[in-house]
Amino acid sequence: MANSGLQLLGFSLAMLGWVALVVSTAIPQWQVSSYAGDNIITAQAMYKGLWMECVTQSTGLMNCKKYESVLALPATTQATRALMVLSLVLGFLAMFAATVGMKCTRCGGDDKLKKARIAMSGGIVFIVAGLASLIACAWCTHQIVTDFYNPYTPVNAKYEFGSALFIGWAGTALALLGGGLLSCSCPIRESKASYRAPQTYPKSASAKEYV
């Protein structure tokens, strides 16, 4: 079984990854307006997120508007939002399971085999959560690149990668790495067949005792 230090390291990395995914999902800087080509107007910057879009003036004033209709959003935004929310829910459940199954906690009783299985389950759920966010970030990245190099996209409507996307990639990597370390808590059942009771041999009938 994995030792307590490995479990604690995996849990810490996975929890940091989950926090990064929460921040990435909440902030609106998934797409940032591009200034490539002839678009050199820098008086304002536009941001697009999963829940709202914002405009920042050169004076530092920011105005945000929430999306009023979910069905009116592009398919990429809808899928990214759903996958990120799914990742956060799975990550929360994985943190609870990992906390119960870790050796350094007293939750879940004293059965080491049972606790190791629970910790391993938490690690697997963390990996699934990381894969969900991985698909979301990769999908959004692909869409941004496709729109940017599309010749039919207006220059003032092109966007580049925002800070939220980079935070999402970092959170995904931490969640996958932490989940993998927690999955090393795979229990190994001790084989009972390897233990043999000492055998006693009967004394031979021809043996004689001497005084």
Answer whether 49's CB lies under 8 Å from 28's CB: yes
pLDDT, position 184: 82
User: Could you give the domains of the chain?
Assistant: 4-27+73-183 (1.20.140.150)
pLDDT, position 112: 74
Q: Interior CA angle at 201 toward 195 and 202, to 5°?
A: 150
The answer to whether residue 2 scores a pLDDT higher than 60 is: no
pTM confidence score: 0.80
pLDDT in tens, 74-129: 899 999 999 999 999 999 999 998 888 777 666 656 667 788 888 888 899 999 99
Answer whether 108's CB lies under 8 Å from 38's CB: no
Nearest Cα neighbor of 171 from 7, 12, 9, 16 is 16
pLDDT, position 187: 58
pLDDT in tens, 180-194: 998 886 655 544 444
Euclidean distance between CA atoms 6 and 85, whole angstroms? 28
Q: How many residues does the chain have?
A: 211
Task: Kindly state the average pLDDT of the residues 167-181.
Answer: 95
Residues 6+ apart with CB under 8 A from 151: none
Both tokens of 174, joined, read: 């931490």
The answer to whether residue 57 scores a pLDDT higher than 70 is: yes
Euclidean distance between CA atoms 175 and 123, whole angstroms? 9
DSSP secondary structure, 148-169, as one string: HS-TTS-GGG-EEE-HHHHHHH
Euclidean distance between CA atoms 5 and 9, whole angstroms? 6
Answer whether 209's CB lies under 8 Å from 55's CB: no
